[in-house]
Amino acid sequence: MILFAVVIAAVIAVDQISKILVVQNMEELESVDLIPHVFRLTYIHNEGAAFGMLSDHRWVFMVISTIALLALTVYLYRSRKDSKWFTIPLSLIIGGGVANMIDRIRLNYVVDFCDFYLFPFWKWIFNIADACVVVGAMIIIVYLLIRLIREFRKKGAQGTGDAQNAPTEPIPAAGPESDAGEETYADAQPSETEEPGPESESGSEPETEEEKKQPEDGPAGEDPEDPEQDA
């Protein structure tokens, strides 16, 4: 938090010193060219928001600005461990808001003097506090966009890695038998509940050599070559 406090204090100090110098050395509505046809100092009193907006609703804007500054300060404290690319720009915004709030409370208006007139459409005059608010907001927007893009890429990389690491089961190639409507490998396996065939019903064991020779010899005790038995 010390770094954030230093940034906020530096913005307030630079802004207030620059305004004091302008007020002491220039008359209202006076202009001094610093870069011809590009940039000049033009001292005006701004009773509205940044760049002269809401000049007819000064008190409404002061209430909104006070609430916003308090909310940003609390948020900065809670996110103090976040990236410096987020917290330091947020400190710039808070410092610029506080600096302009000091003018409104002390003078009932804000001293503006930065006047870019390079482009015909640019007609707003601002101060250092306004510049800090705008620059801080732009840095935060860029930072959030970059972080969002990185998160999307990280999720996409994780999804691709999970898809590549997922186990895949081999699919058997279709052969002639499967094309002809033959039974599959699972169907061809013998089932435990399959009914026994004729051989298994008889329950007989394989015949021995003597049993196989018995029909040739005839009934036991008879000799086909004995003449007495033929008579």
What residues act catalytically? 112, 130
Q: What are phi and psi of 82, to 5 degrees?
A: -75, 180
Q: What's at 201, amino acid-wise?
A: E
Q: Per DSSP, what are the bridge partners of residue 31?
A: 42
**Sheet of 31-35: strands edge to edge?**
31-35, 39-46, 110-116, 125-126
Question: Amino acid letter at 127?
Answer: N
**Torsion angle of the four alpha carbons 100, 9, 146, 148, in this order, in degrees rounded to the nearest 10:** -80
